[in-house]
Amino acid sequence: MAEKRYLMTPGPTPVPPEVLAALAQPIVHHRGPDFRPIYRQCLDRLKEVYRTENEVLLLTASGTAGLESGIANLCSPGDRIVVVSAGYFGERWAGIATAYGCEVEHLRYEWGETPTADDLDERLTAIGGASAVFVTQSETSTGVVADVRAMAATAKDAGALVAVDAISSLGAVPCETDAWGLDVVVTGSQKALMSPPGLAMVSVSDAAWEARAQARCPRFYFDWERTRVAQAKLDAAFTPAVSIVVGLNVALGLLLEKGLEAAFDEHVRLGRACREGVKAMGLELFSPDDDSSAVVTTVRVPEQVDGERLLLDLRDRFGITFAPGQGPLKGKVFRIGHIGYFDVFDITTALAAVELALAEAGADIERGVAVTRALETYEHAPA
């Protein structure tokens, strides 16, 4: 008898059966009439999810490549830029920018802290401005969702472009590309967009296009202009991952049919249910205990428990995959993703399994309350 599997990581995330079925369709040629209508619809839907009139460029690559395209198209070697980081993915912005020879002003927080616009303002003032600011909306390694709206306003006031890593946040929490004046927003197919990994998307504002024209970092595959020119003709600069585009188009249709606001609301409620359940069994949250935590709930591993062992047990015995801690958090936390194709029974399954595994590992856990608390919280959460 096949064991059921539960993918509860903040990326890749579970993919709805309609999307999986679309992936199994025969391959079509990316320059032919079998693909073009799907491609057009997918690009249009992306703009809707991004809430932008800017072009959203589709790259066949994972999210990091979308971030790299931001550095390569906005910067020249020696440019002074600001990177705001508070975890693994903020560090990635810095790593890429350093590889490209930028002078990185690093506004660095402890992992788990929440970056603020005030700190950014102070840093920009202290250094006399920067050409661009690179921020992370949802720091998937810690569970912190930062106020990129406020940070973008601060960057704009200082005359800097703002580029946002929205890889695990777009479609899960509000990200108003145009209303907030976000010059570059990067996301990936495998998070709240409920599709397999393999595609990165990048929106580019007029100001970012102007910066690109001056930027001297070398780029070919990641060059925005090549992709823009091709997309304008419903062509692709390079053979795209057609199956994943076909799947993504189905997933975006599901998301927009439900409605973005409904999706944001659902993510808030799932986050609340998860946090309340975690606390009810006596565990400690690492991610913030407020409604910003709508992407991933990060839980401290109890002192006497081996965090890596716990996750292997959960997977081997119950078929459940959570994400481990990264970097300095390795072994100290585990992360329950709840973005995309999730409902409250996924949360109760996660909680029930955590409760059982921890109890058996000898942790001091309150039994029999987490699931009910989660359901009550979900049901009675103010919408």
Give the binding site for a copy of itself (CB under 8 A).
5, 7, 9, 11-15, 20-21, 23-30, 32-34, 60-65, 68, 77, 95-96, 99-101, 188, 190, 196-198, 217-221, 223, 238-244, 312, 315-316, 321, 323
Residue 238 Cβ vs a copy of itself, minimum distance, rounded to whole Å: 4
Q: Using the minimum distance from each CB to a copy of itself, give the nearer residue, 8 or 146.
A: 8
Provide, rounded to whole angstroms, the least separation between the CB of residue 296 and a copy of itself.
14
Identify which of residues 214 and 372 has a Cβ nearer to a copy of itself in the complex: 214
Radius of gyration (Cα) for the chain, nearest Å? 21
Q: How many CB atoms lie within 10 A of CB 32?
A: 8
Q: How far is the CB of 219 from a copy of itself (least distance, A)?
A: 7
CB nearer a copy of itself, residue 95 or residue 302: 95
Between 288 and 307, name the residue whose CB sits nearer to a copy of itself.
307
Contacts of 282 (CB under 8 A, 6+ apart): 364, 365, 366
Residues 6+ apart with CB under 8 A from 307: 301, 324, 325, 330, 331, 332, 333, 334
17: Cβ contacts below 8 Å, ≥ 6 apart: none
Cα separation of 323 and 334, whole Å?
Answer: 6
Rounded to a whole number of angstroms, the minimum distance from the CB of residue 314 to a copy of itself is: 11
C-alpha distances (whole Å) from 251 to each of 18, 23, 50, 79, 357 are 8, 11, 14, 38, 33
Q: Which is nearer to a copy of itself, 168 or 377 (CB)?
A: 168
d(CA 348, CA 336): 12
State the minimum distance, in angstroms, from the CB of residue 10 to a copy of itself: 10
Phi, psi of 199 (to 5 degrees): -125, 135
Smallest gap from Cβ 244 to a copy of itself, in A, equals: 6
Please report how close the Cβ of residue 198 comes to a copy of itself at its closest, in angstroms: 3
77 vs 259, which CB is nearer to a copy of itself?
77
Question: Pick from 59, 113, 107, 12: which is nearest to 240 by CA?
Answer: 59
CB nearer a copy of itself, residue 281 or residue 314? 314
Q: Mind giving me the DSSP string for 342-378?
A: --HHHHHHHHHHHHHHHHHTT-----S-HHHHHHHHH
- Other C-beta atoms within 10 Å of 239: how many? 10
